[in-house]
Amino acid sequence: MDQPAYARVKAHILDRIGTGAWAPQDRVPSENALVREFGVARMTVNRAVRELAQEGYLTRVKGGGTYVADRRSHGHPLRIRNIADEIAERGHRHSADVLDLGETAADEDAANAFDLTAGAPLFRSMIVHFENDEPVQLEERLVNPSVAPDYLSQDFGARPPYEYLMAVAPLAEAEHVVQAVMPPARVRQLLGMSAAEPCLLIRRRTWTGSQVASTANLYHPGSRYELSGRFTPQETNP
């Protein structure tokens, strides 16, 4: 069955964005120009453009035209924030898929990170975070049961670990290591990345009081995530 006309227009626009012919923040031709190009009705083009704006691919500025949206997620290099809040601030929808939630025994590296003995119990979770149904972060986390005893009973599909941990184990100190890596095949698959695409990996460790509360590996597709922020010298030299 043939696609509806508006769907064909959407597909052509998405192809131009996907190939880089139209880059982020480029102005898109007017609806009248698109009507002439595709030979369809004005309402057909309007529907295609309106739906692409609702899906986050285009940005419409009242009286100023339509632009290709910058679909990269942004994180601040020095701050710990709830990814759901970051996504909401961009006017987009957050959702999460909990792939793993359970208990594990600390291996040597984890034991050292938490200042525990090898084999000590830890909680683990693996969650993919989505922005408008597009995966933007894979979160692999280990948690100290002594500071978050109810971790395994939480619904992290509805409430990210950040919210629960900040409530029961207030943040006292944090450590960040940021790396550009070629991710393992499973990470690449879960984040919908191409074979040659690098990954931005944030390794994070947090303390509550004098105890290590959690460690996390946060993987982001290099083409869809960047670290950016504005801060004062006081923020970088506490």
Kindly state the DSSP code that residue 107 receives in the 8-state scheme.
-
| 0.85 exceeded by pTM | no
Output the CA torsion sign for 43, 28, 90, 64.
negative
* All residues at 6 or more sequence positions from 50 whose CB lies less than 8 Å from its CB, including other chains: 60
Which range among 11-20, 22-31, 111-120, 164-173 has the greatest average pLDDT? 111-120
Three-class DSSP category at 208: strand
Residue type, 89: E
Which helix (H) or strand (E) covers residue 51, if one does? helix 42-54
**In order of start, what are the domains of the chain with their CATH numbers?**
5-68 (1.10.10.10), 73-236 (3.40.1410.10)
- Model confidence at 185, in pLDDT bands (50, 70, 90)? very high
Per-residue pLDDT, 203: 93
Cβ count near 60 (within 10 Å): 15
Rg of the chain over all Cα atoms, to the nearest angstrom? 21
